[in-house]
Amino acid sequence: MQLTLQGDGSTIEVSETVLGADYREPLVHQVVVSYLSGARAGTKAQKTRSEVSGGGVKPWRQKGTGRARAGTIRSPLWRSGGQTFAAKPRDHSVKVNRKMYRGALRSILSELLRQERLQVVTAFELDSPRTRDALEKVRSVAGSDDVLIVDTEVSESLYLAVRNLPRVDVRDTVGLDPVTLLAHENVVMTTDALRRVEEWLA
């Protein structure tokens, strides 16, 4: 499968398996949900009626007051009472097999290429860590301000140049994930990064 590089117009041979895969929406959805679930802290905690401090004494006698019967001031019906179904710390992560995860990444990259939202360049380098220069280069390559830049390793000058751009993100191939790929309008990837991704997903 031939792919035209952005900028110089030359072509390179890329893997049909990685960049020519069908878009499998249910698989992508499952992997994205799993990824986001795994990112949840899961530290939420509330107290049940038995855990709230106080409430050991019956507030008034059972009969004769004309009021509704009550056994504790920590009933969930009362102000400052316990929670009926109290949330407890738990693990929200959902297991996804490696084969599914890689299949979802292949689907996403292939769909980005079909929609012309994936641009491959020989290299993405800056002479100086200036945000203005970085924005001009991003716009010239991707034609958009909302861009994910993927390289084999992130240089310090590139990181410093784009860190103040709210919709531009830069990642190395190790930190590539489905949620970040889908979060941006365009993805700019260097040829070295593409080769490494192909090795990983082939």
- Tens-digit pLDDT profile for the chain (202 aa)? 888 888 788 899 999 999 999 999 999 999 999 999 999 999 999 999 999 999 999 999 999 999 999 999 999 999 999 999 999 999 999 999 999 999 999 999 999 999 999 999 999 888 889 999 999 999 999 989 999 999 999 999 999 999 999 999 999 999 899 999 999 999 999 999 999 999 999 8
* Whether 29 contacts 96, CB under 8 Å: no
Q: Are residues 109 and 17 in the same domain?
A: yes
The model carries a pTM of 0.85
Domain that holds residue 55: 45-88
Question: Using only C-alpha atoms, what is the Rg of the chain?
Answer: 27
Q: CA 56 to CA 59: how far, in whole Å?
A: 9
Choose the final residue of a domain: 54, 69, 88. 88
Output the pLDDT for position 128. Answer: 86
Q: Are residues 68 and 159 in the same domain?
A: no
Cβ-based burial of 18 (10 A; exposed 0-12, middle 13-18, buried ≥19): buried
Q: CA 190 to CA 171: how far, in whole Å?
A: 11
Q: Are residues 50 and 98 in the same domain?
A: no
User: Among residues 53, 50, 38, 46, which one has the least CA distance to residue 88?
Assistant: 46
Torsion over CA: 201, 6, 4, 13 (sign)? negative
Q: Are residues 6 and 101 in the same domain?
A: yes
Q: Are residues 76 and 165 in the same domain?
A: no
Number of domains within the chain = 2
Q: Are residues 70 and 137 in the same domain?
A: no
Q: Are residues 149 and 61 in the same domain?
A: no
Q: Are residues 112 and 155 in the same domain?
A: yes
Output the pLDDT for position 21. Answer: 95
Q: Are residues 183 and 164 in the same domain?
A: yes
